[in-house]
Amino acid sequence: MSSSPTPAAFNRHLDYLDGWRGLAIVFLLIGHFFHPPGINFGSVGVSFFFVLSGYLMGQLLFVKNTKIPVFYRRRISRIIPAHLCFILCICIYFLISAQQINWNETVAALFFFNNYATGELERNVMPFGHIWSLSVEEHSYILLSLVAIVVRTSRIPAKRLVAAFTFFFSAMGFWYWTQYNGRELDFGHWLRTEVSAYGIFISVLLMLAFLTRKIPVQSALIYPVLIGAGIMSHWWSIPKPIQTTLGVGLFAFALNLLAAAPQSIKNLLSIKPLRMMGQWSFSIYLWQQPFYLAASKGLLPIPIALFLAMACALASFHLVEQPVRNYLNKVWGRDRSIKLQSRSPATG
């Protein structure tokens, strides 16, 4: 018996991918609010998000061949409304509470370049440090769309170009590390797109590689082993480039093997609480930051901070993210050529 992620399978909504996203946000909340010793679970959660983002964006651009304007419109509908609302609410709070707004940090977060404009996150005035990961994703979407354009207008295989970028991002991580003799000097270097985009691109590369292979159904043990090894690769004393390449690579491998997972693994990832956390994950990711910072400074007890973060996230999801995204996708996020084809005489 074998299983492989066929193009037709990519058109179905898969509950276990929502569960993977739910795991990502749970890991991030654990890392931010509870600080387990030895491993930065915040980084683990972000890596989970990155490999899933690469997997899904790779499908859209290289399997479904989504038109580039449609791809951008749907990414804008997904990210921008909740992102703008979050930044606006934080600025309003700072004004009401008579706190000084750092406009440099605000503009950097607003236009997705704070992974280059900021230094160590804990020194920032505004609670926008976590936008670095959204910046990496937005930059990666642009790079992937450019790769897709080259692939569609030439004979260069997608795997070759994606592999070249993946190698470059990995090499940059090692280069930064060797430049400073392995010291964890400037945390900002590890947040830059030319390093962190590795997680997105390695997942795209594996997705493309698995498309042409029949993968037998795997043992259920493989998945906790791969994920567990990836988490342990994030141990604090392991060099950062090893964490970035090996640990994140193991997460990408586990994700791309999920199509061949036994039903027990898919069912486990599809449990309702995990799926719901996955559906709320973007709003949770945005809104956990100010309350996590307040808890880390002793301004709020951790249970209260976590409760307030979830309350704001759910309000954001139900009042902004979901309704605005649905409206924008309905109005301008659809592929109009499909609609025109459906109305043509040839198709009835």
pLDDT at position 231 is 97
> Over 60: is that where the pLDDT of 204 sits?
yes
Q: How far is CA 121 from CA 117, 127, 128, 234, 306, in A?
A: 11, 9, 9, 19, 20
Residue 2: its H or E element: strand 2-3
Q: Where are the alpha helices (DSSP H) in 180-318?
A: 193-196, 198-211, 222-232, 240-242, 248-256, 263-269, 272-296, 302-316
Residue pLDDT, tens place only, 220-238: 999 999 999 999 999 988 8
pLDDT confidence band for 337 (50 / 70 / 90): low
CA distance 217 to 265: 11
Sign of the torsion formed by the C-alpha atoms of 26, 31, 32 and 35: positive
Q: How far is CA 129 from CA 123, 232, 256, 287, in A?
A: 9, 25, 29, 12
> Over 90: is that where the pLDDT of 138 sits?
yes
> Over 70: is that where the pLDDT of 119 sits?
no
Mean of all residue pLDDT scores within the chain:
89
What value does the mean pLDDT take over residues 65-82? 95
**277: Cβ contacts below 8 Å, ≥ 6 apart:** 21, 22, 25, 26, 284
Residue pLDDT, tens place only, 20-56: 999 999 999 999 999 999 999 999 999 999 999 999 9
